[in-house]
Chain A
């Protein structure tokens, strides 16, 4: 499985866009990029995933570079409730393991 690298922490002002980067330079062609978040010590919550194209849902947008070696999760209008640890994960089509890493702690401030 490809490994991911994320900054340990980021800050964002409430109402502004939060852009969380993730490097996955060893990603292979059939590996998906997933994003989850964990609020305090609750169970991680799925946000979004993508393979090659950019994706958007009601929670966030996922921008994947053309070479697929990095991606950015965008929370368009961050709120205080978005304060959480965000995990970027890469998983292969036939891989059963999911390696979470330590994620990025996003702090949204008023």
Chain B
């Protein structure tokens, strides 16, 4: 089944303890992206990647890192999490964005709480 898999789905952690949220897709998609969702603010893009070794900042990149060493994986790294990063996170992927119309496939989400 074509899908985007995120782990963990739920995580409670403490301020300053580094964590990684993994994202993997099995559709050979070039484009991958991370979003966070907070009440009243909709979905905001954190980082995106057009292809392997190519990443770029979205609208809210502060406090996050990403890497794209393999086509299928796009982990989101919080080096020193803070309570304002408590949020619902979504990973998404699609075929090459420059090829016209494209459809994003989203993961199920990862709910992160930073105490």
The residues of A with any CB-CB pair to B shorter than 8 Å are 32, 34, 36, 41-46, 49, 51, 87, 91, 93-103
8 Å CB contact of B108 from A42, A93, A102: A42
Whether the Cβ atoms of B59 and A97 lie closer than 8 Å is: yes
CB distance from A4 to the nearest CB of B (A): 11
- Distance in Å from the Cβ of A84 to the closest Cβ of chain B? 13
Q: Is the CB of B58 within 8 A of A97?
A: yes
Judge whether A44 and B56 touch: CB under 8 Å.
no
Judge whether B7 is part of the interface by a CB distance below 8 angstroms.
no
What 3 A-B pairs have minimum CB-CB distances, sorted nearest first? A43-B106, A100-B43, A102-B42
Q: Is B77 an interface residue when CB atoms closer than 8 A count as contact?
A: no
Main secondary structure of the interface of A (DSSP, over half): loop
Question: A96-B56, A96-B97 are known contacts. Are A44 and B43 too (CB-CB below 8 A)?
Answer: yes
For A43, list chain B residues within 8 Å (CB).
Answer: 4, 90, 92, 106-109
Residues of A within 8 A of B4 (CB): 43
Q: Separation in Å of the A46 CB from the closest CB of chain B?
A: 5
Q: Are B40 and A93 in contact (CB under 8 A)?
A: no
| Cα–Cα distance between A6 and B89 once the two chains are bound (Å) | 23
> Closest chain B residue to A93 by CB distance?
B100
Whether B101 is near chain A, meaning CB under 8 Å from some CB there, is yes
Contact B103 A49 (CB under 8 A): yes
B104 with A98: CB separation less than 8 A? yes
Please encode chain B, from 72 to 93, with 1 for each CB lying within 8 Å of some chain A CB and 0 for all others.
Answer: 0000000000000000101010
B108 touches A94 (CB 8 A): no
**Chain A hits for B104, CB < 8 A:** 36, 44, 46, 98
CA A87 – CA B43 in complex, angstroms?
10
CB neighbours of B98 from chain A (8 A): 93-94
B59 engages A102 (CB within 8 Å): no
Interface residue? B33 (CB, 8 A): yes
Q: State in angstroms the CA–CA spacing of A95 and B101 once bound together.
A: 11
Query: Which residues of chain A have C-beta atoms less than 8 A from B48's C-beta?
Result: 96-97
